[in-house]
A and B are shown apart, each in its own frame.
Chain A
Amino acid sequence: MIELSHVSKTYAPSFGHPARALDDVSFRVAAGEVVGLSGPAGAGKTTLLSLVLGHVRPSSGSVRVDGIEARRFVEREGIAYLPQPLALPGRWRVADALTRLAMLSGIRASYTRQRVDAVMRELGLYDARRVRVKSLTRDGRTRLGLAQAILGDRRVIVLDEPLEGMSANSLDRLRELIVRLRAFDRAILIASRDTAELQRITDRVTIMDRGRVRRLGTPRPATPVDIETVFHLVMHQGGEHVLAVFPTAISLGRSTFAVRVHGVAPLNRGLKELLDRGALLASVAPAHAAVDSSALAILNEVGT
């Protein structure tokens, strides 16, 4: 869905020396994937995201989204985007800002209020709906950034440093959000310096350093059948049965549970029992991405 082919980007300022931000980068995110982009500051992550959003044009190579030039795709469909830092006028109040951006996201007038309220509740901003943007904490601003990004129903989601300044609670919300947003026809690209957390919330992590891809993340192997794995269960109804069926489960709030099991067989037995008790599941997904030893070696090498 997102495809960068031999992309280089050199910034040539009016004064001073040109700076090469990306050097022959090839990179792909397929529909249905959640991909992490990691690397130290200055690695070229934000430039790569800017290319995907069509904010900048590549000096060479091509950037295509869903088969068409990136900027044309954005103007045709739009991309859900969390920028870092979040640049919104400080005098706006949270609900006003989201209402305006909902309008610009094309949400119907009759549905705007409902959608804005739902997004504020999902990201824990409802109580802060009358707070001015400039008064929000860093965590609050990041959540507002996420909220405005998910107002519309987009097929491509790009999040730049969503983990910046996030509290533990917000991190849980983000994990739940990623699980909820995952869809077979949606590509999610997340850039962060927090490689460890990216490993947890994405299918694979690509590591960048000094404008080059140091390691292309490979798709996470199928969840091993005989090792302890944590799954996230999002319940549609019958959440009260989860602790009875999985005694070690931890409630993450909002009908989401972290369930630790040894392999997929006990997971499926438990799920069957839940269904037999009348519960309905909204989604099941492994909470932790596998980290292979070569990836860890590269992480150590680039010092992240």
Chain B
Amino acid sequence: MKARLTAYAGLQLRDYFLGRAVAVIVATAAATWAYASTRGLTLSVFDSAGGIDARDRLEHAFEFVLATFAFIAAAVAAQGLVARHRARAYDRLLFSRRMRPVRFYGQGFVAAGIGAVMVATAAAELYAVAVHPVSVVGVAGYVALTWLTIGGLAFALSTLTTFHVPLLGLAVGADFVLDHYSSGHGATDAATRVIGVVQYFLPPAHVVAALREPFARGLVVEFHELAWPVVFGIACLTVAVVLLRRRPFAS
């Protein structure tokens, strides 16, 4: 009797909504509150009489919230899957059944991506109706892109270590720091070139972060702008699949 994995995907999606989605929403809300506090945003920005300046601040705030949500959702997309199952030896119980780890975990990871896109789409739809227009399709696309690029790396790391979330945080943080340094006025040409090479080994988080604005506003994004994040994400997922096939269990 083959495992009914397709039917099980519904439970994986439900687990996502009851667990990780709640954590992502809470973390995003906390980040939004911090952003609003540091930028001095008040409820007056929602006032339609606030003019262009208020609308501009609101759009930037929305884009910040979108990027924060997308990055956190991607970081936890692989949470509770491979690494935790291995740490608790749950994988041994699961895969004594007639199924393959690649399929089970791949499906769990996809369910997390779908869940994140659904949450973001619903929130964007509400926001577009209640506050000001945003591209709901663009929001969904942005969350999916972040899931692929950042989540893909999280998934690959989770097949190697239980510390995949902190490691991911370090890698993403390093990319942002290097990007900030190289785009600043203090960096020499030589340093910028070296940093450019180093960044190819890090997740292109700065590229993904910069895409939040065109996605949220529904602007056309050229394929070459997407190429690096998409290729990086696909490469990470390929590595994850190979690792899961070669080393399906912890030992």
The residues of A with any CB-CB pair to B shorter than 8 Å are: 11, 50, 53, 55-56, 71, 74-81, 83, 85-89, 100-101, 103-107, 109, 148, 152-153, 158
- Rounded to whole angstroms, the CA-CA distance of A11 and B88 in the bound complex is 19
Q: What B residues does A104 contact at CB under 8 A? A: 3-5, 8, 94, 97, 99
On whether the beta carbons of A11 and B251 are closer than 8 Å, the reply is yes
Name B's A-contacting residues (CB within 8 A).
1-5, 7-8, 11, 88-90, 92-100, 248-249, 251
Count contacts between A and B, CB distance < 8 Å.
78
**Contact B98–A103 (Cβ < 8 Å):** no
If A78-B1, A153-B1 touch, whether A87 touches B92 (CB-CB below 8 Å) is: yes
Asked if B1 and A106 make an inter-chain contact with CB atoms under 8 angstroms apart, the answer reads yes
**Interface contacts beyond A87-B90, A104-B3, A106-B2: sample of 4 additional A-B pairs, CB < 8 Å, sorted by A:** A50-B92, A74-B98, A83-B96, A105-B98
**Nearest residue, chain B, Cβ from A77:** B98
Most buried by B among A76, A87, A152, A153: A87
A86 to B93 alpha-carbon distance, docked (Å) = 8
Contact A103 B249 (CB under 8 A): no
Out of B1, B2, B4, B92, which one reaches A83, CB within 8 Å? B92
Pair A83/B3 contact, Cβ less than 8 Å: no
In the complex, what's the smallest C-beta–C-beta distance from B100 to chain A, in angstroms? 6
Q: Which residue of A lies closest to B19 (CB)?
A: A91
B92 touches A106 (CB 8 A): no
Chain B minimum-CB-distance residue to A148: B93
| Set of chain A residues within 8 Å of B93, measured between Cβ atoms | 81, 83, 86-88, 148
A50 proximity list for chain B (CB < 8 A) = 92, 251
Closest residue of A by beta carbon distance from B249: A55
Assess whether A56 is in contact with B249, with CB atoms less than 8 Å apart. yes
In Å, the complex CA distance between A103 and B11 comes to 10
Chain B residues near A158: list those with CB within 8 A.
Answer: 96
Residue among B3, B88, B96 with most chain A CB within 10 A: B96
Question: In the complex, which of the residues A11, A53, A89 contacts B96, with contact meaning CB atoms closer than 8 Å?
Answer: A53
Q: How far is the CB of A224 from chain B (nearest CB, A)?
A: 38
